[in-house]
Amino acid sequence: MTALDPAITARLKRSPDPDDPQGSSGRGLVAAIAQQHDTGEVLMMAWMDDEALHRTLTTGRATYWSRSRQEYWVKGDTSGHVQWVKEVRLDCDGDTLLVKVDQEGAACHTGARTCFDDGLLGA
């Protein structure tokens, strides 16, 4: 059971877990954008639920929910590419988190610094 502050819980607008369409897990997800705190570089996007957010806020390490593995993961536990959390902000709609971090090494699972360096689309 999460110990997330009820004031924060009340502000979150969660989407159902698309990998659990029946909602049997009871897990509502919020998009979390990781951004390098000092440069503004957008690093990656992942999902959080209340427990992942609670762990992130209390440990200072970015913790996410893996939809494919159906488990929590702490960024850097296996790769060594740790995200040290500097601050977490909630957007005006309450459905997206901005996680400002100090990224050690690559943020992307491909080994790239950011997940957004190879996907330029014409505007």
Q: Which has the higher per-residue pLDDT, 25 or 116?
A: 116
Residue 15's CB: how many other CB atoms inside 10 A? 11
Average pLDDT, the chain: 88
Q: Determine the pLDDT at residue 1.
A: 53
Using pLDDT thresholds of 50, 70 and 90, give the confidence band for residue 24. Answer: very low
Residue 27 has pLDDT above 90, yes or no: no
Helix (H) or strand (E) holding 58: helix 50-59
Query: Could you tell me the domains of the chain?
Result: 27-103 (3.10.20.810)
Q: Provide the whole-model pTM.
A: 0.84
Encode pLDDT of 11-20 as tens digits: 888 876 666 5
Task: Look at residue 61 in the predicted model and tell me its pLDDT.
Answer: 98
